[in-house]
């Protein structure tokens, strides 16, 4: 199925490429949660492609154009992860498509067309960027690693959330080589799988943000869990903690303190 996912991601990605530096109609799903005609067009194109090529799978898509069925075979689609970046002409945005059978990821694609990075992974088959195998970083200490995180849209309105985000950031900044906030969670996970980051955390991500990235990380030798070290449920919205495996416990302890 990876070829079908790849074909759909390339179709969606072409729409991102066309729109990233063009004028856009910007709507608000929340105070700072944006939507453009390109999110909708990319999702429509991806859903049309997958409905045809993988008809037995349920499609769960961010902008709501997926199927209503909810079987154990699901494909989670984010047509543009990093919509705020996309709106502002920042090149860090991507298509993310992840297939899960019950609670196991089986195949995933993350395509960042402006960066020219196409990631794919299949369960047991490894993780790749532009068809080259990728591995997580070999860093053994937080002090020798770069970390990444993201901020939920709720920080704009909810000061408790903002304090928590700040608190984690403060601790991580004082324990690592630095913390990046690049604005596209799927791409952050792909970059962790490629060895750029030693660890990543973010609260409140949706299934379509993480469905593909989780498999990329697992196949590249990394680990994904909740902040308390429990298995991560892709639909839960729980805070995600991902790492190169060696840094998992140190990072978990640092954030939980």
Binding stretches for ligand IPD (CB under 6 A): 78, 81-84, 150-152, 183-185, 202, 205, 209
62 part of the interface to Ca ion, by CB under 5 A: yes
Q: In the complex, what is the shortest distance from the CB of residue 133 to ligand IPD, in angstroms, rounded to a whole number?
A: 25
Residue carrying structure tokens 């049309």: 48
Nearer to ligand IPD, 6 or 90 (CB): 90
Does residue number 202 form part of the binding site for Ca ion (CB under 5 A)?
A: no
CB of 213 to ligand IPD, least distance (A): 10
Q: Which is closer to ligand IPD, CB of 179 or CB of 184?
A: 184
Q: What share of the chain is helix, strand, coil (3-state, %, to 5)?
A: 35, 25, 40
Q: Which long-range contacts (CB under 8 A, 24 or more apart) does 57-66 make?
A: 57/99, 60/207, 60/208, 61/208, 62/206, 62/208, 63/35, 63/39, 65/40
DSSP string, 177-229: SEEE--S-HHHHHHHHHTTS-SEEEESS--HHHHHHHHHHHHHTT-EEEETTS
Residues in contact with Ca ion, counted by CB under 5 A, come to a total of: 4
The CB-of-29 to ligand IPD minimum distance in angstroms stands at: 8
Please report whether residue 78 would count as binding Ca ion according to CB under 5 A: yes
Residue 255: half-sphere exposure toward Cβ, Cα within 13 Å = 27
Are the CB atoms for 94 and 129 separated by under 8 Å? no
Nearer to ligand IPD, 78 or 219 (CB): 78
- How far is the C-alpha of 82 from the C-alpha of 122, rounded, in Å? 24
Q: Give me the 82-101 binding string for Ca ion, x by CB under 5 A, dash otherwise.
A: -x------------------
In angstroms, give the least distance from the CB of 204 to ligand IPD: 6
Q: Which is nearer to ligand IPD, 57 or 86 (CB)?
A: 86
Q: How far is the CB of 215 from Ca ion (least distance, A)?
A: 19
Nearer to ligand IPD, 96 or 243 (CB): 96
β partners of residue 104:
101
Among ligand IPD, Ca ion, none, what binds residue 250 when CB lies within 5 to 8 Å by partner kind? Answer: none
Site map (CB under 5 A) of Ca ion, residues 164-183, x = contact: --------------------
Give the residue numbers marked as catalytic. Answer: 62, 78, 80-81, 83, 209
CA distance 121 to 133: 10
The DSSP symbol for 64 reads: S
List residues binding Ca ion (CB under 5 A).
Answer: 62, 78, 80, 83
């Amino acid at each position: 199925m990876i070829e079908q996912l790849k074909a759909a991601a390339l179709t969606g990605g072409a729409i991102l490429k066309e729109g990233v530096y063009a004028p856009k109609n910007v709507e608000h799903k929340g105070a700072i949660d944006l939507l453009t005609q390109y999110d909708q067009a990319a999702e429509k194109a991806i859903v049309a492609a997958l409905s045809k090529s993988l008809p037995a799978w349920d499609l769960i898509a961010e902008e709501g154009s997926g199927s209503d069925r909810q079987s154990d075979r699901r494909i989670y689609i984010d047509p543009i992860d990093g919509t705020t970046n996309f709106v502002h002409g920042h090149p860090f945005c991507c298509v993310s498509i992840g297939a899960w059978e019950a609670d196991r990821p089986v195949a995933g694609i993350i395509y960042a067309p402006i960066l020219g990075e196409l990631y794919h992974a299949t369960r047991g088959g490894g993780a790749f960027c532009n068809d080259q195998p990728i591995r997580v970083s070999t860093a053994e200490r937080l002090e020798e690693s770069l970390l990444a995180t993201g901020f939920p849209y709720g920080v704009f309105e909810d000061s408790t959330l903002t304090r928590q985000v700040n608190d984690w950031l403060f601790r991580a900044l004082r324990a690592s080589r630095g913390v990046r906030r690049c604005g596209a969670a799927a791409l952050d996970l792909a970059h962790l799988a490629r060895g750029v980051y030693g660890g990543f955390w973010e609260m409140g991500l949706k299934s379509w943000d993480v469905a593909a990235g989780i498999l990329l990380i697992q196949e590249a030798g990394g680990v994904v869990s909740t902040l308390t070290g429990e298995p991560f449920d892709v639909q839960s919205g729980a805070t995600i903690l991902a790492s190169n495996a060696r840094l998992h416990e140190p990072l978990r302890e640092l954030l939980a303190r």
